[in-house]
Structure 1
Amino acid sequence: MNAEQLQKTLRASQYAEQVLSLHSTFLEQDYAVDQFQYSLTTEKIHQLVQETLANLADEIQWMKAIRILRARLMFRWIWQDANQLTNVVTLTQELSDFADASINAAKEFARVPLLAKHGEPVGYNGKVQDLIVIAMGKLGAQELNLSSDIDLIFAFDEQGETNGRKCIDVQQFCILWGQKLIYLLEHITADGFVFRVDMRLRPWGDGSALAISHIALEKYLSQHGREWERYAWIKARVVSGGKEGDDLLEMTRPFVFRKYVDYTAFEAMREMKAMIEREVARRNISDDIKLGAGGIREVEFIVQVFQLIYGGSKLELQDRQCLVSLQHLGEVGLLDEQAVIDLEDAYLFLRRLEHAIQALNDQQTQSLPTEKDLRNRIIETLSFATWEQFLDVLNEKRSKVIYQFEHLIKEKGCDSPAENFSQLEQQLDDLLDEHAKNLIHEFWYGHAIKKLPAKAVQRLKEFWPHLIEAVLQSDQPQMALVRLMPLVESVMRRTVYLVMLIESKGALQRLVKMATVSPWICEELTHYPVLLDEFLSMDFELPKRKDLEDSLRQQLLRIEIDQVEDQMRVLRLFKKSNVLTVAASDVLAESPLMKVSDALTDIAEVSVTATLHLAYQMVAKRHGYPLDAEGQRCSLQHIAFAVIGYGKVGGIELGYGSDLDLVFIHYMDEQADTDGQKVISGFEFAMRVAQKFMSLMTTQTLDGRVYEVDTRLRPSGEAGLLVTSLKAFEQYQLKSAWVWEHQAIVRARSIAGETTLRAKFEELRCKILTLPREEQSVRQEVLNMRQKMKDHLGSSKEQKKDGIFHLKQDAGGIVDIEFMAQYVVLAWSGTNPDLAHYSDNVRILEDAAKAGCLSSDDVSALIQAYLSERAESHRLALANHNMQVSAADWHDTREVVCKLWQRLIDPTATFALESE
């Protein structure tokens, strides 16, 4: 036995003295004195708990055994800490491991009598429900201190009932389970306790149900979760609960870590800090090394505020542990190297001091003692000669924390334009016409403002100078302000958005610029303010296909198949938010046109794919699965159904306001019955899938609709069936279709559905397009169809005389170029099959040059004209303008297109744009 180390341990802790007097054999344990220099692995701690409690069925014996084990381990940890045989990180990890093992052991012990009385808790999904135990606070971060309580939340995956002799619902079962777990750990016996358990961080706090379902927790966080709870949930960790627990925790991540750069965290931090300061003053606990100025909590606040602001986009900042996240903040450049060093040094010192304070009497306190003896014990443990010397070091470290904390808070909001507001107002007033001035006056003195809560009015007044300052910096201040006013009015009750714009000057400037360029974007944000979440987080990179798929899948994952309204809302907001992202990238990052169209097409395809699978599941749930044409069961993995995109979506050329031209085909046995309880034929099954798809896509709700869908390009048009078998589609196209329908197939492409069926369609498309055709006949059919479109959709004679050019429909416009590409495919792919490979105009034209059907110069000029006209059509859509532009501005471009049209399609046409 090391007498000197023993003496130092007993001086460090009166509690250790008590433990040793009750359990003198601890020093003789084989793992004790000579093993104190070694750390305990997680596996070893769990093994110790299991061995200690093995074969103990009696509750009193069980509670006695684990409490004695706790005393043994506490004595060991105090010994190590007092003699500097461990460090803060190792000690807190071991303490947390013991808490985890104790919780799991108590949970299993508490379960047995409940099962005997009530049976297994079975969810409506048919699965036996587990008690999900979520650790919060220091236990969640695996940073538990010597005498910490443990913050827990109890949850379960699915509501239901038990299957025993005394039936109760799953929630009541889990409440009883949790109550017993708490009792086993915190009830004080002659041997003490294991852990004090704090449940106040659960939704609604004290007085609410002790256990909550996954869906109820999700609803609470989305509708009622407060800013301080976001701080709390940073450290949340599943101690027990399996996959359901992991899924539940994953669900909470978007609540904690917003996808956008979230400056509202500053506001929440200021409010929490003020609340703590009031509490410190009320209780006169300025010497509290956790809550006092420069204490542990301020270090955690500094780390957590950066986590909440940037954690959604910088995943490395989502770590639960303070020191790990502190290092990451330095690595990503959010804190300078010296700040990281100072904060880490202070944190480790304060945590070791915290252990020294708590070791004295096994009490959960962070206040410096006032008694001389206790002070002497602490400075001996921490190796200081005097209390004054210790205070000098403590105050030095706390002052560095205070500096970093104050710097962080004051850095934001110190440059408020409110000080120069009268000057800003005058500048703006000089630029506004009477209409704009009246608009502002009506806004501030109207009924909407009068009905606002006082806090919302205050936030609005704080925001207004920032808005004016940003507007004055724009090229068109009046236009920007007038377009933004409806948006401000729509979000002024949701003050979180105003705070975000106050704190993030860059986001506000981007919003003003977008308003100047695009009233369409302003209108979208005004009608659907939730889209501001996306807008404020944008990094102006176009969304990637895989990210889109993962995002939509995760959003739909937790929605039950019969929750149609929720599914529709997710689909609509997914589409709108991502199209907004593309628009922002288009306007602010000047993304290339082709990339923009690719992204818009990806959004549509991902939406169509998800909607098709939802529709298929809904019909299959009610009627079972049909058989395919070869007699195989059409499960969710083999749906024998495909969606064909025509027009802009087929040609990978979607714009902002484009609808979707779709055709549905299937490969089912139309006569065979489904295998469900409500039997229908395969034909009816396919029809219902198509109808359900249309309903999900096109139903108008408060969130708008996903897309307008046009199905008139299906066989026989509006008179034809909504969905067609592959065989019937083939017969129609080969025997009955008009040439213009084959024209449409040039831009057709399978965009969703079963892989094999999609491949069959692509083969059929190639077969149709490479049919031998008489060139002159194709030319005449294309010419006739083009003339009909000009007559019905082009500019009138009066408009042409006024110098108006319809960018899409008039001669030399987009449709002329599309028709030439379609002519190339229909006329020449019989002898050049490669021309039928692509569905987009640019690559069709490029292949025509490769095949020698058109000259490289002609193709280059035509593609340049096409891209210029399409880029302008995108700008017009963003500006809420129609396709009519000044003919004079487009003379040279139209001349290129018209001359090629004359040579390729209509030799009799004359190029006389000026006289149109």
Structure 2
Amino acid sequence: MSPWSLTASSLAIVRLNSRSSKKPFAFWRHLRRRRPALRVNWSLHQNRVMFCAMDGGNHWIREKAAASLNPSQVETTLIQLSERWPPNALALVSVIEQFPLGEAALLHLLAVSSICATRLTQNLEMLLWLFQPEVCRASRGYAEMLGELSALSGDSIAKQDFAALRFWKGREVTRVALRELANVAPLEETTRELSQIAEICIRRVFEHWNAELRQRHGSPTAKFAILALGKLGGCELNHSSDVDLLFLYSEEGQLTPHISYHEFFNRLAKRILETFSTPHPAGSLLRVDLRLRPEGSAGPLARSLESMENYYAGFGETWERLALIKARGIAGSRELAYEFLRQHQPFIYPKSGTPDLLEEIANIKRRIERDIVGSDKLHRDVKLGIGGIREIEFIVQALQLINGARHPFLQEPSMLKALQALRQLNFLPHEEVLALDNTYRFLRRVEHRLQIEAEQQTHTVPEEQGALGRLARSLRFSSAEDFTAALQARMGAVRPIFQRIISETPAELAKINLEIFNDPKRAAKALGDLERGPGRFHVAPRTRQIARKLHPILLDWLAKAADPDATLNQFVRFVEAYGLRSLLFELVVANPKLLELVVKTFDASRFAGDLLVRRPQLLEEITRDPTFSDARSMAEHLRRLDSLGVSAFHLDPVRAYRQRQILRTMLRDVVHSGRSATSKNFGPELSDLAEACLLFTIRLLAGKQLTVIALGKFGGHELSYGADLDVLFVGLAHSSEMKAGEEVRAAQNLVVNMAQPTSEGNIWVLDARLRPEGEKGPLVCPLETYQTYYESRAQIWEIHALTRARPVTGPLGARFIQMAQHYWRKASRRPDLFKQIDNMLERIRRERGSGSDFLDFKTGVGGMIEGEFLVQALQMRENIWEPNWERAVDQLRERGILNNAEAARVKKAYGLLRRYESALRRYENKAVSSLPRDPGEQREVSVRLGYDDFETFRRDYLDARGGIHALYEQHVKPRRGD
């Protein structure tokens, strides 16, 4: 009987809403007058109508809904059905109460699946179609499904953007969901039918676009095939699963002068992909995933058979073997699909498994749990969690990979069939096979319930009690607690088998090293990128094996880093920039000291790390040099600069040289860094480099007539990272303004060109603000101007700054120093010298301090400047002319001004603060005068200085400052009134 025929039973139609009870019999009287032939069955339905009218249709709906798992959803659906029900169809009441699989089965579907409920309310004929016993009571074969689709679609499957195919697919998956929820279809039948539906969709879309493109461009002689991987390949598709596909053509060739076979088949693949990815009011088709193809998202959509063979032979990985176990041709040339599988059988099932195969599978599972699932869902994700579906699949597939070459019986795409084959061949004990089989079936039922709800790709059991309760009752558990206990027991039985076969080490142990990172998930991805390469780039198996050997060594060093996250990120960038990652991995695995240096450098200096990323070849150039352990003198730097063949019009080689040499110094610094008070001081090394660069550039740009005087730490040969060069320019006295102007222009040209940054950085920044009148005064002054200024207008701090003056180049250097010493000694005889120096110190604190004395290791109480002023005040009083601070301390000790203990104490304290400064400045090669405010960053500084705990760092820091301040108070403060 057709559900649309106007038989007597169809008179029972009633719109079950509030309006139907207002005039309970008017509709029927009207119908009797219009259709006399149907009056015969009036009495048959009169009671039904009166019941609905008197008690109200809404009461009937509420009653049905209240008995369901999801009353609100069922009530809404029934109301919508009743309002839209066609007047010439079988009564909705009858359809529901006389449903072939039982009323409960239909209401269960409406309660559990919002998307199926929506389909039925929007397509009422779909519900009447399901009402037919031959539709809902029996499974359907491929040919039956295909025939029905052909009847629905007519001549063109692509009409209205494949609307008939979309409708057919939605109707079929609703039928499959109904049968599964009614518990009348075993798992194998459900997954087979879902797989058939997907296959037919793919086949029909392929056939359409294949014919379309051949009509437009002509027909290539090459064959084309679509292979299914994953659950579709194994005929085990979910209710909402991506379909993993490979597109393959038989050979390369040329279709037209402008279109190759490769272009043609990739256009075909693109059209297929676009059809499935385009949203449509009639419903989606499938989510197609091509990421399992060679090169993943970076590779072409379709490849030739030869290209496939070359890829898998050279770059095929364990995870790709796992994927190809389930490969199966589903559309296009069956012969080509067969040839592909035959050709790749040795790759899929190697005669001798690689030693790392099980370890690789274990690592894949660990990455899934860590990067995709997350610790909060490990026991609720029925697919990817601990003891989940993927774990069972890995157990079976690992044994297939290892034994499949010797036992063709195991070369089976279906997971359940392969599991039984393993039992028959005694690769798994009977009780373990039973446990895995039962758990797999149970978890797939849970997974299907989760996905039937909205056809979303979800595998996570909900925490919300209402949703959890509905899921439990849908699976016929009496309570959420009973379901949760069963779930835990089933999944708990899988993990021990997985560990026994694949990994004796629980996956949780793999997380220990990742706890050193602030962002373990990102770190795990970075470590994965080291192994897999960026964007699934070609990486040979040998490279990946070496990368896995590198991981534990790398993690050991990262655990000692101040900032493991940033250091790992720099290391990954360096590897990608290096290019030949296999060579680099072998190099650092074979030479752990080099790896230590690289990791420590990336942690110690972002500047050095960025430079190595830009110029990765510098690492070997510098470290393989037999003179790497030796400091380079200024003369050696000048010799090397001379060999560059630089002109005044192109100074980039000088800039590049300076960058390389700073990097070399930083690498040597990292090698010697630590808490030891005897840690090497690299100030003289940086000073020699700076002076060589300055002298070389002066020769190119300013000639020999310009005199340059060094001041500050440059003058004292104590330069720090990121420091400017304090200088004075002294010119000859000229009667001609033109010649004087030439000297100024030469100095300006020097300052500008040395400071000018390019892609190679700059040469150095010259700071000439200590000249007479500061920035307001001329850049170059003759000696007489300096003499007049120091005699009459210079402030005490300007005379004090001359303590570190020394000549760099030019004809007037010696005369300037002689003059400077005269005015310096004159100032040292002032009775208020120490008071003036102390006032300078207080002014510096006010104007240059950060506002936190604890942070200001340079300007704060007991800071570096206080240590410098202590020594320089004593130098001036005792007439000790010595630009270098450390040598000045030695002379003060030799004269008895400081006793041995005091000299040692101030050297140690000042040296420690200089190391703090060096560590901070080294990070970005910029001037830093205070500790960071953030406590976390302060701890990072302490680690870079070799401290195991922050409190020891803090104690040493405060002791150093306290020692300097005590000596300052002892030697300078009491004399302020002298």
- Asked if TM exceeds 0.5, the reply is no
Pairwise TM-score range, normalised by the shorter structure: 0.3 to 0.5
State TM-score, norm by structure 1: 0.44
